[in-house]
């Protein structure tokens, strides 16, 4: 006799879904005994769980006994409804998994100028890995001074950036990336360009007009600029290169960035064994941020480039 529920089913729980999957397997196996090997549980456990499902639904789903297994009319309808429900759940799972496999969205990253010539190329390698992981991702790079990178990450215009690590700002997380070596340069036409290093002493260097950056520097780098007579300034390394190439100033430039002009005979390093500094660069993100799939994938790709050959 069919049982009629006095109240409708209030909600479908995880427990109900497990019971419906068991019911589907029983129906498709043709009975309790045949379903034992499929489900990996005994007939009595199957019988108990079927009874639980019938009690949850308030319906008699099947006849079982000496005459064999057979679905009731309600059982056939519940079976069809279960197929639709479980198919929808499994389709949802597949679609979400597809989103993980094919990332979609945007990455906004802020970089200081002239990192692309670094031999490590960790940012480049990480962006390549991210693009391979999510072909539909739109990557937006802004080349701006370090202070603007930090502010952009703080106010949410940027998701991630790379800056010289001169000290942590409240609200930001910094992860070391690599160090960038800078040497002291002068250009063709400058009075020191043709001199041998042995003819250049500290007093002579300190009399030359020099350039200072306006972005923040770590405490151990600042003395290198205090030792010079800085009469000009620039917000980035390209601005410093412009001024050095006039032949009127000396100044520090990243070695990898200056190489093109050194090889062309337009720049030379002054006393490179003594006049150099290493500027640590760091990846910066907002502290306490919510998980962001694309950003997390980029940071994981960046971490994986630590051992990437250059």
Residue 207: what pLDDT?
A: 95
| CATH classification (class only), 14-100 | mainly alpha
Q: Is the pTM of this model over 0.75?
A: no
Burial of 76 from C-beta contacts in 10 A (0-12 / 13-18 / 19+): middle
CATH 3.40.190.290 fits 105-310, yes or no: yes
Of 169, 165, 141, which is closest to residue 155 (Cα–Cα)?
Answer: 169
Residue 134 has pLDDT above 50, yes or no: yes
Quick one: pLDDT band at residue 243, thresholds 50, 70, 90? very high
Exposed / middle / buried, residue 224 (Cβ in 10 Å: 0-12, 13-18, 19+): middle
pLDDT, residue 169, reads 84
Rounded Cα distance between 160 and 296, Å, is 10
The domain segmentation of the chain, as residue ranges, is: 14-100, 105-310
Instruction: Give the Cα separation of 209 and 229 in Å (integer).
Output: 5
Decide if pLDDT at 4 tops 90.
Answer: no
Let me know if 80 is exposed, middle or buried by CB neighbors in 10 A (0-12, 13-18, 19+): exposed
For residues 62, 66, 67 and 73, what is the CA-based torsion angle, rounded to 10 degrees? -10
What are the tens digits of pLDDT across the range 173-222?
Answer: 999 988 889 999 999 999 999 999 999 999 999 999 999 998 888 899 99
CA gap 146, 198 in Å, rounded: 36
Q: Each residue of 256-286: pLDDT tens digit?
A: 899 999 999 999 999 999 999 998 889 999 9
Cα–Cα distance, 244 to 212 (Å, whole number): 11
Fold equal for 14-100 and 105-310 = no
């Amino acid at each position: 006799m069919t049982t009629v529920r006095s109240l409708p089913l209030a909600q479908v729980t995880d427990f109900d879904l497990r019971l419906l999957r068991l019911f589907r397997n029983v129906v498709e196996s043709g009975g309790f005994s045949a379903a034992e090997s499929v489900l990996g549980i005994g007939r009595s456990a199957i019988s108990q769980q079927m009874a639980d499902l019938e009690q949850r639904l308030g319906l008699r789903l099947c006849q079982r006994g000496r005459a064999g297994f057979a679905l009731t009319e309600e059982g056939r309808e519940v079976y069809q409804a279960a197929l639709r429900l479980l198919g929808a759940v499994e389709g949802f799972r597949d679609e979400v998994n597809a989103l993980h496999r094919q990332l979609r969205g945007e990455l906004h990253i802020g970089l200081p100028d002239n990192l692309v010539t670094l031999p490590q190329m960790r940012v480049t390698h990480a962006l390549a890995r991210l693009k391979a992981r999510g072909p539909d991702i739109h990557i937006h790079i802004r080349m701006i001074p370090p202070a603007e990178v930090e502010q952009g990450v703080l106010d949410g215009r940027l998701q991630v950036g790379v800056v010289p690590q001169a000290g942590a700002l409240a609200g930001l997380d910094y992860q070391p990336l690599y160090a960038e070596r800078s040497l002291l340069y002068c250009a063709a036409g400058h009075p020191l360009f043709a001199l041998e290093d042995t003819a250049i002493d500290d007093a002579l260097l300190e009399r030359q007009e020099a350039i200072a950056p306006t972005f923040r520097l770590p405490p151990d780098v600042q003395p290198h600029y205090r030792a010079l007579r800085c009469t000009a300034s620039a917000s980035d390394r390209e601005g410093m290169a412009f001024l050095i190439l006039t032949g009127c100033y000396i100044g520090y430039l990243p070695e990898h960035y200056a190489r093109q002009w050194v090889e062309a005979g337009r720049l030379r390093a002054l006393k490179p064994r003594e006049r150099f500094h290493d500027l640590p660069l760091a990846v910066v993100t907002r502290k306490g941020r919510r998980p962001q799939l694309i950003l997390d994938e980029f940071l994981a790709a960046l971490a994986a480039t630590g051992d990437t050959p250059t």
